[in-house]
Amino acid sequence: MTETTTFESAEQRISQLFLERVTLLNEEAPEFLRNNREQAMTLFRQLGIPSRKVENYKYTDLTKLFALENYNRAFRPTSFDFDMQEVFTCDVPEFDTHILFHVNGWYFEQNKTDLFPKGTIIKSLKRALKENTVLVEKYYGKLADGANDPMASLNGAFAQDGVFIYIPDHVVIEKPIQIINLLRSEEDLYVTQRNLVVVGKNAQIKLMFCDHTLAVHSYIANYLTELFLGEDAVADVYGIQNQHNGTAYFNGLFVHQDRNSQLITNTISLHGGITRNHLQVDLQGEHANASLFGLTLTDKDQHSDIFTSIVHGQPGCHSNQIYKNVLDDNSTGVFTGRIHVMPGAKKTEAYQRNNSVLMTKASKMNTKPQLVIDNDDVKCSHGATVGQINEEALFYLQTRGINEKEARLMLMFAFAHEVLTNIRVEQLRQSIDRLVNKRLRGEVSRCHDCKLECIR
């Protein structure tokens, strides 16, 4: 028997939890973080759990999820009695990366970081808060906490750990840094992870986030990454999300870009119960360039929500977005793409496209472009299509001896492929091609080659 207290609302329960645990949350934390946490909690109390009434969450009502959950919180790192390499084998084989594991939001202390160039800092955020306090303070919370987003504020209120990456000016990290986030527990769990990545002037980094579940329990994962790109910096951020249907996953990526910096993101959502990706890019230096791509594959009762917000704050910046969804069974999807061209941001180019294929009558896609243009002399476009598989093409393939199932797969894959061509790491592109193919065939029900067979 467990003792239960009845709360009037989920907000109240979370608020109470915060009060009870704030001392633990603030253990060893510098003052700025404590203040930050309080502010985030205050903001969350004002905003509340997103319901249909909140414009940015109109089609992703979270009140039910939070009303029903009373999951344990991963307030402390999970202790390990297993060999990480043995439990988890990445399905991107022979792919040479720097691997950094997180388990239940906590940075895995055995991660190897001795191979990075001098001046580079890669460590747990919790340690960085102690050891690099001044540096972290300069950046932490500067992008996400002002975002007025309830999930971001909830992340700020409960953030304890994640990864801190600092790449000094002019340093190029060739090998991709692969951040593998695992969820594994003996009970239902709510996880918070907070990452901070600072890429110096003319520095380069390739990040690859792989999000997985390794146990059958239900999860709520609230991940947030702040990324700062200095002048002429280049960052590739790839995300592969593959979690079971009992997972509600919130992933925030908040980016600040200085002059001439370049960002490419590619978010590949293969599997997950409720998935929300929130990408916010502030182009705050002239001629900065951001390309955002995404592919979401959903089936059964899965729900995916992609929210992007790009602010063109300076002249001559360029942004491009292509998001594609393939929806099967009863699955639902949302795309909200906001582009804001600020006064004075002349010669802005901003493009956006969302294409979806509905495989069944029961699947549903809501797509909503939002362009706010406070300036002349800009090139902006947006387009959205929701359609079905081309029946003529299907027949054509069949008349060549390809059976209907295979022909459908070929057409779905062809549709998805455009997004994947933008992955700039050849090996990774091939592997993701293969993964997407497998997923479309329904062969990724088991999380990769994981030895725990938690099909869910």
Given the rule CB under 8 A, which residues bind another protein? 390, 392-393, 395-404, 406-407, 410-411, 413-415, 417-418
The residue among 361 and 400 lying less far from another protein, judged by its C-beta, is 400
Shortest separation between residue 416's beta carbon and another protein, angstroms: 8
The residue among 131 and 406 lying less far from another protein, judged by its C-beta, is 406
Shortest separation between residue 384's beta carbon and another protein, angstroms: 18
Shortest separation between residue 404's beta carbon and another protein, angstroms: 7
List, in sequence order, every residue forming a beta bridge with 48; answer none if it has no partner.
Answer: none
The residue among 344 and 387 lying less far from another protein, judged by its C-beta, is 387
The residue among 82 and 396 lying less far from another protein, judged by its C-beta, is 396
Shortest separation between residue 433's beta carbon and another protein, angstroms: 11
The residue among 343 and 401 lying less far from another protein, judged by its C-beta, is 401
The residue among 15 and 437 lying less far from another protein, judged by its C-beta, is 437
Shortest separation between residue 324's beta carbon and another protein, angstroms: 11
Shortest separation between residue 294's beta carbon and another protein, angstroms: 17
The residue among 49 and 407 lying less far from another protein, judged by its C-beta, is 407
Shortest separation between residue 409's beta carbon and another protein, angstroms: 10
